[in-house]
């Protein structure tokens, strides 16, 4: 049979790469910033009990009413100020579909979470990338320049930023919201580990949304659940672009029940922050540069060895971290997720070995 020409993909997608974070089989996996342990045992039992009663032949609650009410109570906002979706990545996609798209621009400041640019581009949004200060924080002069020149419909900020772990000051976020001509998305996937949150700035008069996820603190990466809080009029627009019944019944139940275990989660966050500080102190004694983290991971750069070599050396010792060595602005850098005390010990032992 004659070979048939393959249909061409959209021109603007041709150059785009997929999301790559290798899922390698190793003893110590510290590369994707997940929680090191599963959700509370009581939560599992509650989830299974409720699932046993589900009418599986019916569509789930399309508005996710009970879940949104629980999130709203947890966050101190109204249910109509909450949008829940399949991970905060779908939340971000919804913002891009509603406020980005053809002829519109999204702005972000590198280095930052790579999915912002990717999701915006897939939604047909032009992406403009600004830089940062030498210490990798936001530079308000640069923000003013980029937002003034490109008038973006969406401005992304990630705080604490992935992959640097750096937290932006309240005044900086306030200034970005004042400068931005469109919607400002503050991605707080790691917000629980930080001493302050942009949630306090969310109200009906600001085009500001704050995104959060169950994937990190809540130990539920497998369930794909995230949400944003923002003005109700903006949430109403986002509801137009999500697919009907996009949140399945198990996600809705799981997310609602998880919030009952807030105290235990807070204790876990405190323990991880303690481990983070222990890791940071240990790294300070090794020939690496580090950045102060307000998240559950630490960015570091070996001084005398290439990032690729150190990454491979760790992998040879069955420790997997994230290799950021080739990312613009992060030459030679690696990112390690805070794990259990035993995993952190294993990482430190392997790193000391590789570096000496
Ligand atoms: C991990 C992470 C997320 C989480 O995405 P989900 O789709 O909720 O799993 C979002 N933003 C940042 C910056 C992250 O690092």
Pocket test for ligand 1, best of 33, 83, 86, 88 (most atoms within 8 A of CB): 88
Per-residue pLDDT at 22: 67
Do 235 and 277 lie in one domain? The reply is no
Please indicate, yes or no, if residue 71 is contained in any of the structural domains. Answer: yes
Q: Are residue 241 and residue 327 in the same domain, yes or no?
A: no
pLDDT of 2: 75
Question: Both 91 and 234 in a single domain?
Answer: yes
Could you tell me if 262 and 43 are in contact, meaning their C-beta atoms sit under 8 angstroms apart?
no
Q: What is residue 328's predicted lDDT score, i.e. its pLDDT?
A: 86
Whether residues 148 and 71 fall in one domain = yes
Of 232, 260, 288, the residue that ends a domain is: 260
Closest-lying ligand 1 atom to the alpha carbon of residue 158? 13
Q: Which of 115, 186, 327 has most ligand 1 atoms within 8 Å of CB, for mutation?
A: 115
Cα gap 301→289, rounded to integer Å: 5
Of 186, 203, 248, 218, the closest CA to residue 54 belongs to 248
pLDDT tier, 139 (very low <50, low <70, confident <90, very high otherwise): very high
Whichever domain contains 233, its CATH number is 3.40.640.10
Tens of pLDDT, residues 19-75: 666 678 899 999 999 999 999 999 999 999 999 999 999 999 999 999 999 999 999
> In 185-197, which positions are buried (b, 16+ CB within 10 angstroms) versus exposed (e)?
bbbbbbbbbbeeb
What ligand 1 atom has the least distance to the C-alpha of 90? 7
Q: Is 87 in the pocket of ligand 1 (CB under 6 A)?
A: yes
Please work out whether the CB of residue 293 comes within 6 Å of at least one atom of ligand 1: no
For residues 138 and 274, membership in a common domain is answered with no
Do 129 and 168 share a domain, yes or no?
A: yes
| Residue of 35, 89, 228 to mutate, ligand 1, most atoms within 8 A of C-beta | 89
Tell whether ligand 1 has an atom less than 6 A from the beta carbon of residue 89. Answer: yes
Mean pLDDT of 285-289: 97
Q: Ligand 1: distance of its center to the CA of 233 in Å?
A: 24
Residue 47 lies inside a defined structural domain of this protein: no
Give all strands of the β-sheet with 183-187 in edge-to-edge order: 82-85, 226-229, 208-213, 183-187, 154-158, 105-109, 126-130
Confirm whether 2 is domain-assigned.
no
Q: Same structural domain for residues 244 and 325?
A: no
pLDDT interval class at 133 (50, 70, 90): confident
Q: Are residues 209 and 176 in the same domain?
A: yes
Give domain status of residue 73, yes or no.
yes
344 and 299 within one domain: yes
Contact 224, 251 (CB under 8 A): yes
Q: Is the CB of 191 under 6 A from ligand 1?
A: no
Q: Is 187 in the pocket of ligand 1 (CB under 6 A)?
A: yes
Q: Is residue 5 part of a domain?
A: no
- Residue 4: inside a domain, yes or no? no
Is the shortest distance between the CB of 213 and ligand 1 below 6 Å?
yes
Nearest CA to ligand 1 atom 6: 87
| Ligand 1: centre distance to CA 188 (Å) | 8
**Residue 72 CA, ligand 1 centroid: distance in Å:** 20
How far, in Å, CA of 161 to CA of 300, rounded? 14
Per-residue confidence band for 1, with pLDDT thresholds at 50, 70 and 90: low
70/24 same-domain check: no
pLDDT at res. 24: 83
- Domain containing residue 280: CATH number: 3.90.1150.10
Does ligand 1 come within 6 angstroms of the Cβ of 215? yes
Domain boundary among 241, 260, 279: 260
pTM of the model: 0.95
The domain boundary residue, chosen from 260, 282, 316: 260
267: in domain: yes
Q: Are residues 62 and 73 in the same domain?
A: yes
User: Token digits for 38?
Assistant: 């599963």
- pLDDT for the residue 16: 84
Is 247 part of a structural domain of the chain? yes
Ligand 1 mean position to 55 CA, how many Å?
31
Tokens of 115: 């999915």
Q: What is the extent of the structural domain holding 143?
A: 53-260
Residue nearest to atom 14 of ligand 1 (CA): 189
For 146-182, b/e burial (b = at least 16 CB within 10 A) is: bbeebebbbbbbbbbbbbbbbbbeeebbebbbeebeb
Residue 246 has pLDDT above 70, yes or no: yes
pLDDT digits (tens, 9 = 90+) for 300-346: 999 999 999 999 999 999 999 999 999 889 999 999 999 999 999 99
Q: How far apart are CA 196 and CA 9, in angstroms?
A: 43
């Amino acid at each position: 049979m004659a070979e048939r020409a393959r249909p061409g993909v959209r021109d603007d997608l041709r150059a785009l790469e997929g999301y790559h974070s290798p899922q390698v089989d190793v003893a110590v996996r510290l590369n994707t910033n997940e929680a090191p342990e599963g959700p509370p045992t009581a939560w599992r039992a509650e989830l299974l009990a409720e699932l046993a009663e589900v009418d599986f032949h019916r569509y789930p609650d399309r508005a996710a009413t009970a879940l949104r009410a629980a999130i709203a109570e947890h966050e101190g906002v109204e249910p109509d100020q909450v949008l829940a979706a399949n991970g905060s990545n779908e939340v971000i996609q919804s913002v891009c579909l509603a406020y980005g798209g053809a002829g519109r621009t999204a702005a972000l400041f590198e280095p930052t979470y790579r999915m912002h640019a990717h999701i915006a581009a897939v939604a047909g949004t032009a992406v403009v990338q600004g830089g940062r200060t030498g210490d990798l924080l936001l530079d308000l002069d640069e923000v003013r320049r980029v937002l003034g020149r490109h008038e973006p419909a969406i401005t992304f900020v990630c705080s604490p930023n992935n992959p640097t772990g750096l937290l932006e000051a309240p005044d900086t976020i306030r200034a970005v919201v004042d400068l931005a001509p469109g919607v400002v998305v503050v991605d707080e996937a790691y917000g629980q580990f930080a001493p302050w949150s942009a949630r306090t700035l969310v109200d009906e008069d600001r085009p500001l949304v704050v995104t959060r996820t169950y994937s990190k603190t809540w130990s539920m990466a497998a369930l794909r659940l995230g949400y944003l809080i923002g003005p109700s009029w903006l949430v109403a627009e986002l509801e137009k672009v999500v697919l009907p019944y996009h949140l399945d019944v198990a996600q809705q139940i799981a997310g609602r029940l998880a919030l009952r275990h807030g105290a235990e989660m807070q204790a876990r966050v405190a323990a991880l922050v303690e481990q983070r500080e222990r890791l940071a102190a240990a790294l300070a004694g090794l020939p690496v540069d580090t950045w102060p983290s307000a998240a559950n991971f630490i960015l570091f750069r070996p001084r005398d060895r290439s990032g690729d070599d150190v990454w491979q050396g760790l992998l040879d010792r069955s420790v997997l971290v994230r290799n950021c060595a080739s990312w613009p602005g992060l030459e030679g850098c690696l990112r390690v997720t805070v794990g259990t005390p035993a995993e952190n010990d294993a990482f430190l032992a392997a790193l000391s070995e590789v570096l000496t």
